[in-house]
Structure 1
Amino acid sequence: MKDMSLVMKEAHRLTKEIKKEFPNVDYKLQLGICMSYLLNGEGENEMVELEGTEKQVKWALDIRKEILEIATKNNLKRTLEVIKKEEKAVFFIDNFKFATSKILDAYKKFECAFKFEMKLEEIETFKKYGW
């Protein structure tokens, strides 16, 4: 089940953007359309905007792009989920700075991403059994 407060915030954000671009749009009607769009999963693949300094965000966007390619290509589902939802630029820099390395080959980059996926699986298992 989706967190309704997050859905409402995102629906309002989208509605404001649309209203700014198209001033004649009825706000309440557009809000309902945006909520429907979000609740039906249409917005699921969009990633959140990153927070941090301008330099951090720029670097994190490059990192996120690389990790998305690696995770998608190798079907690392948990990693994809985390990457799409993470808001902090520092998270990408701390966990995946290897992704933009010119020295590491594709296999080494995959290996690092795979280790992150296994860490997520381990955490999920611990939570499942209450450890």
Structure 2
Amino acid sequence: MAATIAPAQYGMEAPPPYQPTNQPIVHTTYTQAQPVAMQPVMTSTNTVVVQSAGRLGKGPSNILCNNCHQNVVTRTTRSLKGEAWLLALVLCCLGGILCVWIPFVMDSMYETTHHCPSCNTFQGTT
């Protein structure tokens, strides 16, 4: 007695019947690898640490040049920031001509530029 299965609801049909093919069946066997005793390997690692000899400050600083890789004391130049001129203009408008000189004597209105004396490479500004 053959039983017939009704298709699922909502228009779904039963899958097509299984059709055997003439392709060969491949059986794969797996073998477990035997553990291998490993000898410890000694390795050495060379670490090169490049440190700056100091931070850039308001005066000449002892540094390692990024270009020529020499320890040098930087050559410094001091120049007025653009903010000083703007502040002088504002003070002139608000306080008169007598207040214009104030930004030019303030240390915070100047920037220091550092250069390597050996290769003349720019190193930074503070």
Task: Return the index of the structure with the highest Cα Rg.
Answer: 2
Per the shorter chain, which TM-score range? under 0.3
Normalising by the residue count of structure 1, what TM-score does the alignment of the two structures yield?
0.23
Normalising by the residue count of structure 2, what TM-score does the alignment of the two structures yield?
0.24
